[in-house]
Each structure stands twice: as structure tokens, then as C-alpha cells.
Structure 1
């Protein structure tokens, strides 16, 4: 199969905030938006109900990965919120195993919402993972 048609069977993700990489992630969920609809019933017209778009909402995005040295960059970004809120732009790119880009999403006005570190339990020797949750005000190119 030609590489430009490969859907990307092994995908990982990168997150960059204002051009600075926060590293690679192996899970990404929540890339979604929804248009809320208002329903308006017109008097004397019983054949249908007008459906009018009102606002667009965007869900939070959760990125997961095993612990890496890039965790320090993530912690620094989250800590920066305490000293003043700036709403940078961000970009999430889905990459194939060879590093080529499958898809890319630009995000407007990004803020970290939550970071969850690993559960360090000697009784369960699984991979230590972290979860970063971010919010945004919409998609861009």
C-alpha cells in the first residue's frame, strides 16, 4: 500500500504549545466539537420546526503516555498558570511509526485542566503513565 494511503496502523501524537514541544503521547481522546441547536416553532406552520445553530462547544482533550523526561516540560507549563493565565495556541499531530504526519489539529486558547501522574505501587508492576487534560476554544489550521 502506498504510504500516502496508509491510514496509520501505529499512531502516536505530539503536542506543541506555541511552537514548543511537550513530547510524544500514545493516546489522545476528546478531539470533538458540537454545534448546539435551537428549535423554533413557527406559528401557523405545523409542517416542520426550524433548527438554528446557536453555539459551538469543544470537549476537553486527554493525552496519555508513559513517563518520559518530557514530563518536566508538562509540569512547568501547568505551573505557569499560577503566575498568570496566557492562552497559547497548540497543535496536536498524529504520526505514523515512521514519523510521517497522518493528521494535524490546531487549537485556539489552550489551557491545562488537569495532570495525573503515575500510580507508584510495587504490587502492580505496570508501566508508569501520565495523563494531561487540556481545554481549548476551537480548532484552527
Structure 2
């Protein structure tokens, strides 16, 4: 393969990425970065199928498309301070006792190449926090205290 093929970012490295929260309509809204994240997972879509057996035919089963499903988008980072907009959004949503309406936002995840060009990007529409975990503290290790936040979303799309 030519060197040009690899210069285009294929296969891309998975360690250089950014996460932003979009205020406004679509990816053209204002992207608000928060803290750095150490891990992003849950980017994926799956089509559910329904098995239909044809009467009198035992050699195969028809798999008919049913609906699209996806898991939660999960972000990991060092525990942020109380001034973080993401912290405030999570606290309001998960500890607000449904006094206020849940505020949904778009989450934008970008995979970035070595020259700081955006190689891939995904937008998760109408996202809101559904789980907020703090990983275990351990007195025998000198690790960073990590929080993991899971987001439900209506749908996602790859925009690049």
C-alpha cells in the first residue's frame, strides 16, 4: 500500500479525541468543551431482527428487520470540580428529583488525527445523563479518582 493511504488517517489511532456538548441546533450550535475524558465507549448501532419460520420449509429461517437500537454513550474522566458545566448538568438531572424538566443536549465526539484534523465525528442527539458512577477508591494504589457518566440518547449519526 502506498504511504498516501496511511497519511489519510487509516487506520486511525483511537487515543486522540475530543468530546463537546452542543448548545443550539445540530452540529452547527455552540460546542462547549468540558474536562478531558480518558475514555469514550458505546458508539454503536444494531438492527434487531425477527425470526420468521416459513411453513413447510425447514432449511432456513427468514430474518426480517425490526428496529434500530443502541446502548448508552459512556464517558470516563477524572472527577471534575463543582464548577464544571457537565457536573452541574448531571447533578440537576440525576439529583433533581424530577422537579425540573430534564434538559437534553447533543454530544459531539470527534476522533482527531496527528495533524489535528478531524478524522471521524459522531453526534448523539437529545442526550441526557442516566448513570453517574465513581470508580472504587483504593488505599494501596496511587490512581486518579475517576467518574463514569452514561448518557441515553434518541439517535446518533456519523457526521464525518
Gaps of at least 5 residues in structure 2 are 24-30
Q: Displacement of 1:103 after TM fit?
A: 1.4
**1:29 alignment partner in structure 2:** 41
**Is 1:108 matched with 2:120?**
no
Work out the CA distance in 1 between the residues paired with 2:111 and 2:55: 49
SS in 2 for 1:65: strand
When residues 70 and 12 of structure 1 are mapped into structure 2, their CA distance, relative to the original with a 3 A threshold, is farther
**1:136 alignment partner in structure 2:** 153
Which aligned segments of 4 or more residues in structure 1 are displaced greater than 6 angstroms? none
Q: Displacement of 1:69 after TM fit?
A: 5.2
Provide Cα deviations, 1:11-48, integer angstroms capped at 9, x if missing partner: 23323243322332121111122111001123344443
Work out the CA distance in 1 between the residues paired with 2:110 and 2:149: 16
The 5-angstrom pairing of residues 7-46 of structure 1 reads 7-8=12-13, 10-18=15-23, 19-46=31-58
The size of the alignment, in residue pairs, is 141
Work out the CA distance in 1 between the residues paired with 2:37 and 2:83: 11
- Whether the 8 Å CA contact 1:13–1:27 is kept in 2: the answer is no
- Whether the 8 Å CA contact 1:12–1:97 is kept in 2: the answer is no
**2:27 alignment partner in structure 1:** none
Question: TM-score normalized by structure 2?
Answer: 0.71
Q: Displacement of 1:120 after TM fit?
A: 5.2
- Whether the 8 Å CA contact 1:12–1:24 is kept in 2: the answer is no
Partner residue of 1:95 out of 112, 121, 132: 112
SS in 2 for 1:74: helix
